Amino acid sequence: MLQVNFIRQNRDLVIERLGVKHFKDIDLVDTIIVQDDLRKKIQSSNDELLSRRNQASKEIGALMGKGLKEEAEAKKGEVASLKNQIDINEQDLVRIEAELKSWLERIPNLPSIKVPLGKTPEDNAVVKEAGIKPVLPDGSVPHWELIRKYDLVDFETGVKITGSGFPLFKGKGAKLQRALIQYFLDFNIAAGYTEYLPPYMVNEATAYGTGQLPDKEGQMYYMPADNFYMIPTAEVPVTNIYRDEIVKEPDLPIKMTAHSPCFRREAGSFGKDVRGLNRVHQFDKVELVQLVHPDKSYAVLDEMVEHVEHLVQSLGLPYRILRLCGGDMSFASALTYDFEVYSAAQEKWLEVSSVSNFEAFQTNRMKIRFKDAEGKMQLVHSLNGSSLALPRIMAALLENNQSGKGIILPEVLHKYFGAASIE
């Protein structure tokens, strides 16, 4: 959530940057400024009334001490009148602040100056493409056929147990999932990240803190009896570990990693886009989260992009890195890089990671702060990235490495999987 003072002091910049995200309700910017002016005016009036009431209350005691009961009673009437005005002002302040908060919640984070102009994924900028797209042997098939051939995932039983989009991994498929998760976590831990295993359900305050509410209610699974949400990513509970806390500046950056299942309603795609593991409602992902000094967040973003790139490279997958345009960015992000791997049998790119800098947008909601060297309280910046989402990584690994001798696994997975191939 943007801070009111920032909006006030940078009105023209805010309007210009919101245009990059194609935010339509630009009039909200001036509405917020006007509302804040009204809030300040009433608060100032109330402060004056409180001062007058306190002074009048003191005078009552002095008048009573002098035996001036009539004058004291008059002062009591004045105090009662002031109290009534104060109560009215405080009610107005509660209403105005609630309206102000609701309007601020509707404004997305401002995109960085590095964000490309554009409305759709086709407008995203390809900043790097690397790796060699494999030439598959004749008879090569997409991953959903390989899954059936090697008996790795039982989609039909997943439908029976829960419904479409809830795959049941089995045998070597379950083992490969576990191998990928452990490898990703070990890779992150070696880079200085602390591992967490978070709850898979969160309360409303937690979902609000990272920007899932009120923006993404329709994408999350909700349990009304408990007012809990199933997490769409480990970013949500992990970032909230430090909600409402003042961290020590020397402790920054705080680097966290976590594996979790992720639950998303995912709607609107048909045909090949939803075949096999391309798009599911429950999937596993290993996540990175950093809380950093605001002066260093873009340098840290570059470091996180490089970290994820090395992880993808270690799997031997062709990949490309995209800088998302304004129209394709999330509500909370200031700058996002997507990683896509090439799926040879499907002849298409599959997104496997997003790495984003949220600046102070999330931490303003969560009130994660630190005291700088001058004793001034500042908001930290938050960043997160996938390292990595498993379904499409598994799809690309199966498709790109199929051979007459089975699925040849990357060398880095051999010790985790216990074999060099799936046969």
DSSP string computed for 345-386: TTTEEEEEEEEEE-TTHHHHHHT-EEE-TTS-EEEPEEEEEE
Evaluate whether 22 touches 111 at the Cβ level (below 8 Å). no
The domain locations on the chain are 4-105, 121-422
In terms of CATH, what superfamily is 121-422?
Bira Bifunctional Protein; Domain 2 (3.30.930.10)
pLDDT at 268: 45
pLDDT score for 274: 74
Q: How far apart are CA 116 and CA 26, in angstroms?
A: 20
Q: What's the rounded Cα separation, in Å, for the pair 308 and 216?
A: 26
Amino acid 74: pLDDT = 84
Dist. CA 309–CA 387, nearest whole Å: 9
Domain 4-105: homologous superfamily in CATH: Serine-tRNA synthetase, tRNA binding domain (1.10.287.40)
Q: Give the burial class of 289: count Cβ atoms within 10 A of its Cβ; 0-12 exposed, 13-18 middle, 19 or more buried.
A: buried
Q: What is the pLDDT along the chain (423 residues), one digit of tens a residue?
A: 999 999 999 999 999 999 999 999 999 999 999 999 999 999 999 999 999 888 888 888 788 777 777 877 787 888 889 989 999 999 999 999 999 999 999 999 999 999 999 999 999 999 999 999 999 988 999 999 999 999 999 999 999 999 999 999 999 999 999 999 999 999 999 999 999 999 999 999 999 999 999 877 788 999 999 999 999 999 999 999 999 999 999 999 999 999 999 999 865 444 556 789 999 999 999 999 999 999 999 999 999 999 999 999 999 999 999 999 999 999 999 999 999 999 999 999 999 999 999 999 999 999 999 999 899 999 999 999 999 999 999 999 999 999 989 999 999 999 999 999 999
C-alpha span between 421 and 413 (Å, rounded): 10
* 4-105 shares its CATH topology with 121-422: no
